[in-house]
Amino acid sequence: MASNAPVGKPTDMSSPRLPKVAGIDSTVPAPPHTVASLPGVPSAAPPSDAALPPGVLIQDRLASWVSDLTTLHELTERLIKTDSLDGALREMLGAGAALVGARRGMAVLEPADGLGPTSTIGLGLAHADLGTIETVPRGSGSYGRLLDGLPEADPPGAGLPEADPPGAGLPGNGPTAPRRPARVPEPIAIRDVRTEEGLDPRHREVAARLGYAASYALPLATEEAGRLGAAVWLYDEPAEPDERRRHLIGLYGRFATEHLARLLQVERARARVATVAEELLPSRLPRVPGVRLAVRHLTGPQGGGDWYDALPLPEGALGLAVGSVSGTGPSALAAMGRLRASLRAYAVMEGEDPVAVLSDLELLLRLTEPARSATALFAYAEPAQRRIVLAGAGHAPPLVVGDHRTEFVETSLSAPLGMLTCWEAPSVELSPAPGETVLLYTDGLLRRTGDATDRAFARLHAAASSVPRADRSDPGAVADHVLRTLLPGGLDPAVEGEDVVLLAARFE
């Protein structure tokens, strides 16, 4: 029998890459049994599975499965590291493009329960391109058909049997029928926009303008999570993923949907905490002659207990306060609201004596919440006389910023509220010059720098000293400059840590 084996050393023993799909190279590894014909040897018809030895066939299939599992493992590992909806959508789009062999795409986040948030993310598409795609009637676009055709997510417990009523399982009484989970639609492939039947003319026009010829849309939905959105990838040439690619993107899509569902719950929880925190703080700062106020409040992912207040008092006086309650989350927010409300009441009754205000606050905290501590600073200001009397309980000293000085106010050391059986520390008085700004802040501003305490104070002093002269007449500009200098990257909402409060009062 003649042999097809070449004589001599073959010149090409490497497995070729998969052919380009829609103008790009696929990053999905090719199965190891797809080997190109050797140079100079006539190509023969591929042998059928029956003609291959059983061991070779099994090895080829196992190698292909291992390659696919390795690819999915790498992509899901990258996805699970994302901690925001935006980041997860972008990672999912890029990985999905590699799996289906596309170059561009878009993802639409549109939860079926209508509670939001909603967003549209593009891959290789400008913001104007996304707007152009959205002009296509939803009934003609593949992603729109997925979004509109999928029922809303079932309430918690959907798909699970309900509790059996008394007597269930006895003769004549059957168990409760399980509730049917939400149906997940199949992906939609449009192999050629030009020849596909039933498409709106606007769809063909937009495709021609943006230069794509085919699309593959995948629902971001599972039976457990319901509908979260849809993703669609665009091909430059008429094409569609083969069965293997469809299987891979289906597995990845289900994993991505579950990850997005978890991030969605976290995002909604953060939004609710932020809303509660904002409602517990002043909706606006008062207008008092002789002083201009500005505040900056940055919150962490769980919401902390940092707070501020500015309260008009009789005879043109003004009460300024900042503080921090230990802990994070809803309990800290509730304690912060109670503490702030109590301080407002004490300030109205005896605001001229900041020591008495904080002493009353100490007694209240010790009696009502003995397991919690807090820091606070209260200042009684008379803008007309440019006079401030203040006292602090374990709180950082204010900082005076002006054209001729930038210095911390010398306050006496004191323990936080709730740390002693009786709190009392002497008050201090200062007289800011015309045009000077007094900065009150919480400890979170110092701790968020990541430096030691003395180094953080030095950086704060340097930041206040470097405020441009043109910005010193605006307390908001002073606060913004200090924050940009100390926290150049802003306050990452995904990083656990304390809140930041910066209250600026400029005296005329």
Cβ atoms of 163 and 175 closer than 8 Å: no
List, for residues 197-238, the tens digit of each pLDDT value.
889 999 999 999 999 999 999 999 988 888 899 999 999 999
- What is the fold, at CATH topology level, of the domain defined by 281-507? Phosphatase 2c; domain 1 (3.60.40)
Radius of gyration over every alpha carbon of the chain, rounded to an integer in angstroms: 33
pLDDT confidence of residue 302: 64
In angstroms, the CA 330 to CA 263 distance is 19
Question: Which CATH fold topology does 63-153+182-272 show?
Answer: Beta-Lactamase (3.30.450)
Distance CA 447, CA 453 (A): 8
Domain residue extents for the chain: 63-153+182-272, 281-507
The pLDDT value recorded for residue 18 is 41
Strands (E), 2-89: none
Whole-number Cα distances in Å, 235 to 49, 239, 326, 473: 33, 7, 54, 56
pTM over 0.75? The answer is no
| 24 CB-side CA count, 13 A | 16
pLDDT attached to residue 495: 56
> Is 281-507 the same fold as 63-153+182-272?
no
Point out the residues of the chain with pLDDT beneath 70: 1-55, 150-182, 301-303, 420-424, 491-497
**Segment 264-320, tens digit of pLDDT:** 998 888 888 778 777 888 888 999 999 999 999 987 766 678 899 999 999 999 999
| The predicted structure's pLDDT at residue 16 | 42
Q: What is the pLDDT, as a whole number, of residue 53?
A: 67
First-to-final CA distance of the chain: 105
CB 139 within 8 A of CB 147: no
Residue 117: asked if its preceding bond is cis (omega within 30°), the reply is yes
Nearest by Cα to 445 from 377, 504, 500: 500
Please name the residues in contact with 255: beta carbons below 8 A apart, sequence gap of 6 or more: 76, 79
Residue 224 CA to residue 241 CA, distance in Å, equals 26
pLDDT at 456: 94
